[in-house]
Amino acid sequence: MAQATTAERRTVIDVRASRRSLVGGCVGNFIEWYEFGVYGYFATIIAANFFVTEGASDLEALVKTYASFAIAFFFRPVGAWLFGRIGDRIGRRPTLLLVLVLMAVGTALIGLLPTREVVGAAAPWLLTLVRILQGLSAGGEFGGAVSLMTEHAPTRRRGLYGSLQSFTVALGLLGGAATAAVLASLLTEGQLQSWGWRIPFLLAIPLGAVAVWLRFRIEETPVFREATEEEVGTEVSSADRPAATGTGAAIGLGILRLMGWSAAGYTFLVVLPSYLQVALGASFHESLVAGVVANAGFAASILPAGALSDRVGRRPVMLTGAVLIAVLAIPLLNLLQDEGTTTPVRFAAVFVAGAVVGLMAGPGPAMLSEMFRTTVRYTGLGLSYSLSNAVFAGSAGLIITQLIASTGDEDIPAYYVLATCVVSAVALATLRRDDHEHPLPR
């Protein structure tokens, strides 16, 4: 009887630890992608305040804004490697706390920066330096959060647990879009341009305080504790731990499997509002509402996709998403470009675009987690995700706007998404059918 009581108590503790890990893993993702969305949705205003020079067009300033965005993205792999090494050695919990503090501080700093009108040419450099700090901290977020969530998950629920990371991404983007839309409704264009754009970034201070408190309550994962104890017991050198056989190849394969998700997600969920405004002449408010609708579609499909992948496997769900995006990219964009398309139909189109991306984003975190053993999982997850996002998401705005400016071809976003999803579909086809049925590699 006493044994049964002890077992029940352990089960309760495990369930509580698992729930706390989900909340603790999600809060950092929310702040990261909230800022990501805010920066994207206010890209035209940020361009005007930091990058517009005399004689330059609005499109040129927008390209420079996205260039600063892309530079910061390329520091994410550095952060993924740095914090991944720390997280694979000392644990997920302390590393994620450090990452969260740096992320919140970096976001708040954007809201305090002087504009070009105040400090001249120093303004864009200051913005870029802060974006680099954010890039470093954000690079350490994904690998640790997904490791934390999937290592606490039961074997046949990793897809659902991991999908909560992607779901929080959608919530963060929705939060950023909704905040921007509310401000655009409440403030005049002049107020928004002058000081209103700072408000969403300064909100990172209270958000960060709550998130730090929640992360203090999480526990280290039992999978990491067991793996660390095993290595200590067998006297494995810490210098040997990151060099797992096949880790480099797994990271490369992970990038290929993620590139379609990265490119389509950023193009449809973040770049599209600015594209509608600059290239298609939509109003600022209409473009923001389109961003909200696209992210609502994204959020709606993520959790069902993650749960479905626990039943049928990661491959069929993610492969279906990649193929659908490749097939629908050009028709959906052409529908948006058609002057005869009504506003409700346009919103339906962006909703569908977001929902299809969710088919890849839902199972994606669990799929990556199953590719790496415990003592390199934080690093492997972080590098795969950050490198894919640096190249195919962080550069998307720059690539798309620059190509449109130089060619005049308004179909560039669709071609970009189509090409990356075709490559991802090929890489996803190599997934094994039964990875979701086995424990995580130790």
Q: What is the pTM of this model?
A: 0.82
State the Cα–Cα distance between residues 301 and 288, nearest whole angstrom. 21
- CA 225-30-59 angle, to 5 degrees, is 135
Look at residue 162 in the predicted model and tell me its pLDDT. Answer: 93
Beta-carbon contacts of 401 under 8 Å, excluding residues fewer than 6 positions away, are 59, 62, 63, 66, 274, 275, 278
Domain ranges of the chain: 14-437
pLDDT (0 to 100) of residue 57: 60
pLDDT, tens digit, 9 for 90 and up, residues 46-65 = 878 887 766 556 666 677 77
Neighbours of 4 (CB within 10 A): 8
Per the CB < 8 A criterion, the answer to whether 105 and 157 are in contact is no
Distance CA 63, CA 81 (A): 28
pLDDT at 408: 83
pLDDT digit string, tens, across residues 227-271: 776 655 554 444 443 334 358 899 999 999 999 999 998 888 877
pLDDT score recorded for residue 330: 92
CATH number of 14-437: 1.20.1250.20
Distance CA 301, CA 112 (A): 36
Q: How many CB atoms lie within 10 A of CB 307?
A: 17
DSSP-assigned states of every residue in 201-218? HHTHHHHHHHHHHHHHT-
Query: Nearest Cα to 326, choosing from 359, 277, 289?
Result: 359
Residues of the chain with pLDDT under 50: 1-13, 235-245
Q: In the 8-state DSSP scheme, what is residue 48?
A: I
